[in-house]
Amino acid sequence: MSGGIVSFGTYTFPKTLKEFMTNFGDVVPATVRMPGLDGAWNSDGDGDAPTQTGKVTVGFTLIADTREEMDDLRDVVRGLRRQGLARLVYQPTDPLDPARFCLARVNMLNMSERKDSHTDYWQDVQIIFQVPDPVWKVNNYAGHTIGEAGLVIDDPATWTIGGGSYNVAASAPLTTVTVPYVGNAPAIPKILIEPGVGNSCENVIIERVVDGLVVDRVAYTGVIGESQYLSIDGEAQMVTVNAVNAWGDIDYLHPDLVRMEPGKTTFNIRFKNTSDAATVRFYFYDHYR
């Protein structure tokens, strides 16, 4: 089998993958049956329904030369639950495609020992992982790569909030840019506005435009100086200036602040003054169901 699950946390799976399945495409529609009427009441509007709690099923075979070696292999597998919530890495069938990951934990482990099947030497294993956020994530932008810890530190060049960055040189009054996004599921970017040496910007507005209409808009009221940076993180529900809370200084249209959707990632960046300029960094992972 080409492609498949590669690793979980610090554990690398053997190259004996037999089974791989996810439920990332399953949804939980909010519909209510109407007695005496056809169909049901739809509470999801015209959008897609929420996804199920994620589940990834992985089946593989442990192979050992001795019974003692098999005991050791089983012990390692049984200890995977101690990894907690960790990266589960998946390689698509095309080896040229970048690896994807989700955050998962062991939910169920099936490892039946059958002497008539010589499981002392060939042990079939099935692991079911639970995934709270059921998407595969891909980092397609290596600039300012930041790891998974989710920390925010003072130097914006090493701003550690998840994903790589797509950088835009924005200037007043308006800069329009289409951010490349190749996932098939929505994502919430983290946005950093950094004027840099000799620059400043006032009253920053970020808008996402679809078919000429503004569907997302977040507006910050205030001045960002050359030694400052404004961070907008809709997923964490946090807006800061140099790591100081600035949530009270923004207005927004959508609770997620700014979203990215496949094929719908055109943004307007607005500043108040004609001399305003800044680098705007969109940090995100491409999301796949």
Cα–Cα distance measured from residue 276 to residue 196, given in angstroms and rounded to the nearest whole number: 11
Q: What is the DSSP secondary-structure string of 58-112?
A: EEEEEE-SSHHHHHHHHHHHHGGGGG-SEEEEEE-SSTTSPPEEEEEEEEEEE--
Tokens describing residue 58: 């992985």
CATH 2.60.120.860 corresponds to the domain 138-288? yes
| Each residue's pLDDT tens digit, 205-229 | 999 999 999 999 999 999 999 989 9
Tell me if residue 210 falls in helix, strand or coil: strand
Tell me, what's the pLDDT at 107? 97
| Each residue's pLDDT tens digit, 128-162 | 999 999 999 987 654 433 333 333 333 334 434 45
Q: What percent of the chain has pLDDT over 70?
A: 91
Cβ-count burial 85-121 (b if 16+ within 10 Å, e if not): ebbbbbbbeeeeeebbbbbbbbeeeeeeeeeeeebbe
Give CATH 2.40.30.200 domain extents, the chain. 4-134
Tell me, what's the pLDDT at 37? 83
Cα–Cα distance measured from residue 289 to residue 134, given in angstroms and rounded to the nearest whole number: 7
pTM for this entry: 0.82
Average pLDDT on 255-272 reads 94
Q: What residues have CB less than 8 Å from 191, skipping those under 6 apart? A: 206, 231, 232, 233, 258, 280, 281, 282, 283
Highest mean pLDDT among 112-116, 160-164, 204-208: 204-208
Tell me, what's the pLDDT at 50? 82
Confidence of residue 164 (pLDDT cuts 50, 70, 90): low
Cα–Cα distance measured from residue 209 to residue 131, given in angstroms and rounded to the nearest whole number: 31
| Each residue's pLDDT tens digit, 35-75 | 888 888 888 777 778 888 999 999 999 999 999 999 999 99
In angstroms, how far is CA 52 from the centroid of its own chain?
A: 16
Tell me, what's the pLDDT at 206? 98
**12 pLDDT higher than 90:** yes
Instruction: Give the right CATH number for 4-134 from 2.40.50.100, 3.40.50.720, 2.40.30.200, 2.40.128.630.
Output: 2.40.30.200
Secondary structure letter of residue 14 according to DSSP: P
One-letter amino acid at 247 equals W
Give CATH 2.60.120.860 domain extents, the chain. 138-288
